Structure 1
Amino acid sequence: MKLDRLTAIRSHLYTHGPTSIGDLATAVGASLATVRRDLQSLEESGVVDRVHGGAKIAEGSTVEVDFGTREHRSLAAKRAIAVAAYSLLEPHMAVFLDAGTTVLQVARLLRMEPMPLSVFTNGLKVAQELYDVPKLKVFVLGGHLRYENASLIGPQAEAMLQTLWFDTLLLGASAVTADGVLCSIDGSEASLNGKMLARSTRQVLLADSRKFGTTATFAVGPIPAGATIVSDAGLSAEWRQRIRDWKADLYIAVAAEGAA
């Protein structure tokens, strides 16, 4: 029960940001004293930082939150980014959609407004979204199923990539460092993402503004020259200029008014 409660606290902080102890206690159905002890345990593990009267996810935490929780964070920004990314697709392309939560929103747009495409993916959720959509030919990489990201990874997936070439890659980013390196929490995921970049003519990186200036344990590689970056209106002027300095194309997606 304690492990379930710790997971619930971590997921709540990831989704809602800094939260008071009282609100956490209500969210997980535990006493204030119990939540304080749980927060101490999570802080000692490097998962959370204690702040006055509450807690937040620790900066640089390497503990991954499950796909279902991440899917609903910054949803308005992700949907706006997906609309912009969808506009970059053209009929009869060979497109790779990675397993990220923002890319999943592109898959949902393709389900509503299909066009003739050959779609390749290592994302189980993406494949489930598109498996019966008319006009699409859907190909799924084989490999080890990684629960935390609902993704297929490993040597088998990498070997299959080596036989393929894509017109366009839509790749989500866990983190983008100050010097333009894409990062992932998982080493196998990072390795596979690097090979996706190498096997694509056009690389389109989908990352909401929270991802910039952050790090994760494993480097995918530097943002390729000429890549396209799609982010949201929260991206700072400093970061917009930095991206232009890297000679990357930048699209700023604006969420619809009143979007959740």
Structure 2
Amino acid sequence: MDDHNNSDPEAASSKAERRRTKIIQTLMSGSSTQIRDLAESLGVSLMTIHRDLSVLEKEGLVRRLRGSVSAEKSLLFESSYNYRGRKNVEDKKRLARAAVTRLEPGNAVMIDDSTTTYYLSEFLLDVAPLTVVTNAAPILEKLRHAPEIDLISTGGRYHPGYHGYFGANCEKAIRSYHVDVAILSTTTIQGLSLYTPDEIVVRAKQAMMQVARKRILLADATKFTFSALNYVAEITDFDLVILTGDIPPDKLDLIRASKVNVEIV
């Protein structure tokens, strides 16, 4: 059913965002999809699907051609940093704020490239001095002049889709450190397992987990919605899992049954 006439503009906007995220997920295989088929699978009119595609086209994420649509090859589809960075901002800030309360002055902290952990940079000065090691270009930019932050870049090959540094040199640098805390997010959580679309991201995250005395995972409710190809780790590999948003009750029950330390914020 088309949501165009939804009387609640905020609800309609949220529904449209979820639908556009599903479109990006559908196109992740890299093959083109008939626009009519996309509308049918999402249960909306052609007018609605074209409106969604117009928005995504302006974002630089998709390309329409003769009744079909495909993801722009220059981007890693749902992994486009700019696209992800504008989603669920308040949830991400809530998670970041909660994570920072678990840090202590003097800690060495490893932070991954996710748009969720980016918001740690807004609160880290509250517990400075800190040493921060990261492969995330936005965090490096935000903290480069921050007082009492000893900032260390992993280096490596820059990846524009993730706005971060990856590859063999990045992983080697990560493994040369031993940190008090690693704070990570994930593309998706299926059952008790974490997945992400790209194996270069997997290797960086796994290296960060290996060199940390304590591991913290941050995730909002959208992380339970989709699947991704590459296995990263188990939720039980983390010392603390901080969640926010409308987590499906069955998913939350499964996590709690695993005896992992969970905090809902």
Distance 1:15 1:72, change over 3 A: farther
The match for 1:158 among 171, 178, 183 is 171
The equivalent of 1:197 in structure 2 is: 209
Q: Percent identity?
A: 23
The equivalent of 1:207 in structure 2 is: 219
Shift of 1:142: 1.2
The match for 2:147 among 112, 122, 134 is 134
- The count of aligned residue pairs is 219
The equivalent of 1:85 in structure 2 is: 99
Shift of 1:189: 0.8
The equivalent of 1:67 in structure 2 is: 81
2:46 aligned with 1:24, yes or no? no
The equivalent of 1:222 in structure 2 is: 234
CA distance, structure 1, for counterparts of residue 66 and residue 228 of structure 2: 22
Shift of 1:165: 0.9
2:183 aligned with 1:170, yes or no? yes
Distance 1:234 1:137, change over 3 A: same
CA distance, structure 2, for counterparts of residue 163 and residue 188 of structure 1: 18
The equivalent of 1:97 in structure 2 is: 111
CA distance, structure 2, for counterparts of residue 69 and residue 36 of structure 1: 15
Query: Residue 240 of structure 1 contacts residue 250 of structure 1 at CA under 8 Å; is this kept in 2?
Result: no
Q: Which string of whole-angstrom CA distances, capped at 9 and with x for unpartnered residues, describes residues 27-70 of structure 1?
A: 4799xxxx99659523xx5x6xxxxxxxxxxxxxx833421111
Query: Residue 104 of structure 2 contacts residue 127 of structure 2 at CA under 8 Å; is this kept in 1?
Result: no
Query: Residue 216 of structure 2 contacts residue 238 of structure 2 at CA under 8 Å; is this kept in 1?
Result: no
Q: Which has the higher contact order (CA 8 A, sep 6+)?
A: 1
Distance 1:250 1:21, change over 3 A: same
Gaps of 5+ in 2: 1-12, 21-47
Gaps of 5+ in 1: 1-11, 48-61, 254-260
Query: Residue 235 of structure 2 contacts residue 241 of structure 2 at CA under 8 Å; is this kept in 1?
Result: no
* TM norm structure 1: 0.75
The equivalent of 2:6 in structure 1 is: none
Query: Residue 114 of structure 1 contacts residue 134 of structure 1 at CA under 8 Å; is this kept in 2?
Result: no
RMSD of aligned Cα (Å):
2.9
